[in-house]
Amino acid sequence: MRQRVVRVALTAALVAVVLLAGPLALVIRSSLYTAQRDTLERTALAGAVRVSPDFATGDPVELPRPLPGGTLGLYDPKARLRAGSGPADGDVPVRRALGGGLVRSGTGGRIVVTVPVSHAERVIGVVRASSPAGAVRRRVLTAWGVLLGVALLAVLIAVLVARRQARALAAPLEELSEHCRAVAEGDLSRRAASSTVAEIDQVARTHNEMLHSLAELLRRERDFTGNASHQLRTPLAGLQLALEEGLGQGRDSPLRPVVAEALATTRRLHRTVEELLRLSRSRGWAHAAATYVPVRRLVQETVDRWHGPFARDGRRLLSSADDLPADLRVPGAPVSEVLGILLDNARVHGRGSVQVRVRDLGSALALDVSDEGSVGGDRARLFDRGHSGGGAGAGIGLALARDLAVSLGGRLSMTRADPATFMLLLPVDPACGEDPAP
């Protein structure tokens, strides 16, 4: 912005200088030459007044002193020099003046003015005054130099004023940009300060009002998430205790496998609630506080957990992760949640066999979940919250899975529509170890 303001001011100053200085330079040149001709004319007229009608018979004529470097001479009707200085034979201006009119001209690098001398209504001689044109030319160049210096000074002043004004305009905008960068980094308590520019102050006030509304909205959402998680913890803990007690007392009960599965499901639900709460409070990558587990074990546990629901639907669930390094670890709970959402999406909206495949890409890890169905509709809105491609569900699962992937520094995308294939791309660090279980 600063450079743009300076360029605009410089362009305006140059245009003004060209439009004003050009005609002014021509006026200066014309006025200096006109002034020199007027001076020569006055000198010639002063000499013509001193010419006696009898000068042709030998009466001496005393002409005024010529201009410095110039000549002043009296010529008879035959264009011969009779007094003063100048060419012996009259030139063209002298011959033209013998016709009875004053002549101004330039010839041979000199400015010449000739004045006829009349007596008894006839021309009896001509007074010729001249001066070198070089002297006038030097005065013109000197004046042009002064004009150029004034123009450059005006341009310089315009640039300095423009730079100062650009700083005055850009400083509040730069401060507002720095403020927005701090807000983008998570500091919602920052507020834009006022400046001396009314329009920028209006933008700052609108920005502060928007930021206040946004901070209030985020506070309410975080409070709701915390309250919901807190209220869910107590009944979930009571349900776990009841199931554990029932599992311990009914060792020979035929319902023991069902109770054990319900207990495992309740524990997973508890971990899901904790993960969602941690994600809502996190300002950075979620894996900074997540527990790292071997990816092969994670995939196997996920497949084992989802094998029953797919088997009841008469569908197969396959996995492929045997060629991965044993020490390759990923954040356990978030990745498990994403895989769970993708498998549930494949069970509800897909068809045929489902396969979970893990690929080692060196500095990244790709987890593919595919089935034999296809994805229709608007693919651009597939991950929008509230949009359900199949018409069943609330349209939250894929949006939540995408947010979890982003919180891990990764990306979730649909790589193929037929057969439907989703890919979770994660950055990995093979050197990271498994955190102790809480």
Q: Please give the Cα distance from 54 to 56 (Å, whole number).
A: 5
pLDDT, position 233: 66
Closest CA to 42 of 83, 90, 102, 110: 102
Last residue of a domain, one of 101, 129, 144: 144
Whether 264 and 317 map to the same domain: the answer is no
pLDDT, position 431: 53
pLDDT, position 32: 94
How many structural domains compose the chain?
Answer: 3
Last residue of a domain, one of 281, 300, 324: 281
Whether 298 and 420 map to the same domain: the answer is yes
pLDDT of 285 > 50? The answer is no
pLDDT, position 250: 62
Whether 327 and 296 map to the same domain: the answer is yes
Whether 344 and 420 map to the same domain: the answer is yes
Whether 273 and 295 map to the same domain: the answer is no
Q: How confident is the model at residue 74 (pLDDT cuts 50, 70, 90)?
A: very high
Give the 3-state DSSP-derived string for 404-432, with helices as H, strands as E and coil as C.
HHHHCCCEEEEEEECCEEEEEEEECCCCC
Enclosing H/E stretch for 143: helix 133-184
pLDDT, position 437: 39
Question: Does residue 150 fall inside a structural domain?
Answer: no
What confidence tens digit (pLDDT) does each residue in 389-428 have?
555 555 677 888 888 888 888 899 998 888 899 999 998 7
pLDDT, position 174: 78
pLDDT, position 432: 53
pLDDT, position 121: 82
Q: CATH number of the domain that 245 lies in? A: 1.10.287
Judge contact between 295 and 365, C-beta under 8 A: yes
Last residue of a domain, one of 281, 301, 324: 281
Q: How confident is the model at residue 197 (pLDDT cuts 50, 70, 90)?
A: confident
What confidence tens digit (pLDDT) does each residue in 48-63 have?
888 887 776 667 788 8
Question: Does residue 172 fall inside a structural domain?
Answer: no
Q: How confident is the model at residue 220 (pLDDT cuts 50, 70, 90)?
A: confident
Burial of 410 (0-12, 13-18, 19+ CB in 10 A): buried
Question: Does residue 347 fall inside a structural domain?
Answer: yes
Whether 127 and 221 map to the same domain: the answer is no
pLDDT, position 276: 64
Say whether 124 sits in a helix, a strand or coil.
Answer: strand
Enclosing H/E stretch for 176: helix 133-184
What confidence tens digit (pLDDT) does each residue in 94-103 have?
999 998 889 9
Owning domain of residue 251: 198-281
Q: CATH number of the domain that 18 lies in? A: 3.30.450.20
Whole-prediction pTM: 0.47
Whether 367 and 261 map to the same domain: the answer is no
Question: Does residue 103 fall inside a structural domain?
Answer: yes
Q: Of the ranges 133-147, 223-237, 395-409, which is most confident?
A: 133-147
